[in-house]
Amino acid sequence: MRNPVTPMHIRPAAPADVPGILALVNEHVRQGDLLPRTAVSIRETLGDWLVGEDEDGDIVAVVSLLFYTDALAEVRSLAVADKVKGQGWGRTIIKALIAQANLRGVPTLFALTRAVGFFQRAGFAISSRERFPEKVWRDCHTCPLLDACDETAVVLHLNPATAHHPITQLPNIQITKKGAIPMSKPKVNKVVLAYSGGLDTSVIVPWLRENYGCEVIAFCANLGQDDAELEGLEEKALASGASKVYIEDLRHEFAKDFLIPMMQAGAIYERQYLLGTSVARPLIAKWQVALAEAEGADAVAHGATGKGNDQVRFELTYKALNPTLKVIAPWREWDIRSREDALAYAKKHNVPVTQTEKSIYSRDANLWHLSHEGGILEDPANEPEEIMYQWTVSPENAPDEAEVVKIDFEKGVPVAVNDVHLPPAVLIGKLNELGAKHGVGRIDLVENRLVGMKSHGVYETPGGTILYTAHRELESLCLDRDTSHYKEQMAVRYAELVYNGKWFTSLREAMQAFVDKTQESVTGWVKLKLYKGNVIVIGRYSPESLYREDFATFGQEDVYDQSDAVGFITLFGLQMKVKAMMEVSDGGQTRYAAPDYSKFKRD
């Protein structure tokens, strides 16, 4: 047995330690205590690991830091070998890690753990998992135990005054201080950045070059956003330091391969949201991956924050289409925390940004919708101000005369508006124009984000609202009851997949195959009346219609014999009849029996 007074040797990990670290981690993975790690991931983050080495030179304790930002790091992969359990190795190595965090000036450490008491004895306090959405986005959203997690969040706020002090308070612990140890970053040669030309992505270009020393290729997808957003985009990206710029017009692909299939499925998130931003991210990410492969890039990057849904949508697509690509999300790494910080960084690096008055709202626009978040919408009790809307007129100010619109479909695909045949993207644009004029498509929604927090947003989706209404009405003619009802149930799950960024999944593709089959008979036209925010159906027709006037007429005995209803009703209600017969046997009465009013006296 180890001599308890023998000094414990805790040191930074070295390349030769990788097999020993992996073996110890895997031992705890098999026990269900840790998430799995690979030798490659350990090697790439080696500067963030500490190891405990016993007298025989064996690695008997390990732990690592994972940096989300310069101000927040997670304690990960804490493991102690069974042969030294109870000897204080865990307590000692966690103290060393805290000292290391102090050396690196990290103000906050957190962990998700089942060993709550152990961390409390080390100075951590119980916290809420929702305080660390970075962790949830990175690891938890793919965990099968997400909805039944038995781990507790703990947090330790370090004293900034102790940062950069020598580690004299931990006797018998050997830790090398190499100055402030830089946060480990994977080696990247070339990265394809999802680029919009706004302040954030403009700053990301030089930040990537400065922090990763890599070539940056900027990619912008034209999905139908305002033309002003695309003006001068190539020049701006090149001036910011990009080596190449790709601007691809993806409006047709967006409409044909994403919007219309989603509309055919009837997917609506939480009964209102038509998924305009959600469905766009997989298409952008798909093209990023394709360009990365064409350009020989080894990484992709996006400008989504560490709190929102978009980071998941981008990164799940990257994983689905090319899991070998490295992913860089600057908002989870850098210390830029405000518009002023970004402007200062841009000025320092000669990034050409136009300093305009910042809107209090955060917006996303494409062919399908315009979204608004932030500002007074942070309080869902506030009515959105009219000046916020940029696309649709208010229903009060819409024309006083209704406008009739006819939409033709062929096998579930909209092909014409008012008898004029149009390609999908143009057709959606035409419906946007008509709907916006009449105040159609405004939605005010408190929605549930993937991580569990709620957000309040306002959406303008005029063309999509018209299209969903028309398609649903045509299906009411063409689909039988069982198919229609099952399709309604499936649409809820389909919408969740789209919202959560799981477009490129086997389940979504299987659902789409079912949807495609249902659309074979959805051919015909629908007439609608647009009036002050309303979409009113005034007629529908299909040559494949299952509605027949002669079938529905009660007088046609050759189609429907009314006497057949007796047997149908008897069988349909048989279980109800049996239940009631059991209750009235032996002189009883059914639980629905009426009271005997004769026993009540009148006043």
Place of tokens 């508006």: 417
The pLDDT assigned to 171 comes to 33
286: confidence class by pLDDT, cuts 50, 70, 90:
very high
State the pLDDT confidence band at 480, using cuts at 50, 70 and 90: very high
Average pLDDT over residues 438-456: 91
**pLDDT > 90 fraction of the chain, expressed in percent and rounded:** 59
The residue length of the chain stands at 603
Confidence at residue 597, expressed as pLDDT on a 0 to 100 scale: 65
**13-67 pLDDT, tens digit each:** 999 999 999 999 998 888 878 888 888 889 888 989 999 998 888 999 999 998 8
Phi, psi (rounded to 5 degrees) for 602: -85, 145
Strand order, beta sheet including 72-80: 9-12, 49-53, 59-69, 72-80, 108-113, 152-157, 125-126
Residue 358's pLDDT band, with cuts at 50, 70 and 90, is: low
Token representation of residue 363 = 């917006």
pLDDT band per the 50, 70, 90 thresholds, residue 599: low
Give the residue, 141 or 511, on which the prediction is more confident. 511
pLDDT tens, 65-117? Answer: 988 777 788 999 999 999 888 888 999 999 999 988 888 888 889 998 888 88
Q: Which of 127, 184, 243, 362 is catalytic?
A: 362
- Greater model confidence, 60 or 165: 60
What is the pTM for the complete model shown? 0.69
Cα(447)–Cα(593) distance, rounded to whole angstroms? 44
Strands (E), 70-223: 72-80, 108-113, 125-126, 152-157, 190-194, 215-222
Return d(Cα 552, Cα 144) in angstroms, integer.
Answer: 50
**Which H or E element spans position 490?**
helix 481-499
Nearest to 4 by CA among 50, 51, 54, 52: 54
Q: In what order do the strands lie in the sheet with 403-410?
A: 420-421, 413-417, 403-410, 524-531, 534-541
Q: What is residue 414's predicted lDDT score, i.e. its pLDDT?
A: 98
Q: Which is nearest to 194 in space by CA: 282, 124, 67?
A: 282
Q: How far is CA 470 from CA 235, 317, 511, 528, in A?
A: 43, 31, 21, 7
Q: Which of 417, 397, 398, 399 is nearest to 407 (CA)?
A: 417
On the CB side of 398, CA atoms within 13 Å amount to: 24
pLDDT, residue 161, reads: 42
Distances (CA, A) of 510 to 166, 242, 254, 282, 507: 59, 39, 20, 17, 5
Region 499-527: mean pLDDT is 98
Q: What is the pLDDT of residue 131?
A: 66
Catalytic-role residue among 48, 310, 364, 408: 310
Output the CA torsion sign for 162, 163, 166, 168.
positive
- Whether the pLDDT of residue 5 is over 50: the answer is no
What percentage of the chain carries pLDDT values higher than 70? Answer: 86
What token pair was written down for 19?
């097999």
pLDDT of residue 602: 59
How confident is the model at residue 34, as a pLDDT?
Answer: 84
Beta pairing, strands 215-222 & 244-249: parallel
Which among 281, 313, 332, 540 is annotated as catalytic? 281
The pLDDT assigned to 159 comes to 61
pLDDT tens column, 118-161: 999 889 998 876 666 545 444 544 444 444 456 888 889 886 54
Instruction: Give the C-alpha separation, 200 to 204, whole Å.
Output: 6
Lowest mean pLDDT among 158-162, 230-234, 546-550, 566-570: 158-162
Active-site annotation holds for 200: yes
Pick the residue with more confidence: 169 or 275? 275
Residue 178: what pLDDT?
32
- Using the predicted structure, report yes or no on whether residue 428 has a pLDDT greater than 80: yes
β-pair partners for 76? 64
**Extended strands (E) in 514-567:** 524-531, 534-541
What was the pLDDT predicted at 158? 84
CB 432 within 8 A of CB 379: no
- So what's the pLDDT on residue 145? 43
Report the pLDDT value the prediction gives residue 365, as an integer from 0 to 100: 94
Confidence label for 559 from pLDDT (cuts 50, 70 and 90): low
- Stronger pLDDT, 178 or 235, i.e. the higher one: 235
Average pLDDT over the chain reads: 86
pLDDT of residue 179: 30
pLDDT of residue 59: 93
Q: Is the pLDDT of residue 168 over 50?
A: no
Residue of 200, 240, 508, 542 marked active site:
200
Nearest-Å Rg of the Cα atoms of the chain is 31
Q: Which is it for strands 72-80 and 108-113: parallel, antiparallel or unpaired?
A: parallel
Domains of the chain (ranges plus CATH)? 9-162 (3.40.630.30), 190-358 (3.40.50.620), 367-479+522-541 (3.90.1260.10), 557-603 (no CATH)
pLDDT, tens only, 287-340: 999 999 999 999 999 999 887 899 999 999 999 999 999 999 999 888 887 778
Question: Is there a contact between 49 and 42 (Cβ–Cβ < 8 Å)?
Answer: yes
What pLDDT is attached to residue 526? 98
pLDDT of residue 173: 37
pLDDT at residue 136, rounded to an integer: 44
297 close to 192: Cβ distance less than 8 angstroms:
yes
Determine whether 362 is an active site residue.
yes
Residue 5 φ/ψ region, left for φ over 0, alpha for ψ in the -120 to 50 degree band, beta for the rest: alpha
Cα–Cα distance for residue pair 518/542, rounded to 1 Å: 14
Pick 535 or 553 by higher pLDDT.
535
Sheet holding 299-301, edge to edge: 244-249, 215-222, 190-194, 299-301, 326-328
Confidence at 554, pLDDT banded by 50, 70, 90: low
Three-state DSSP state, 177: coil
Residue with the bigger pLDDT between 492 and 173: it is 492
From the list 522, 514, 516, the residue with the least C-alpha distance to 544 is 522
413 C-beta neighbours (distance < 10 Å), count: 18
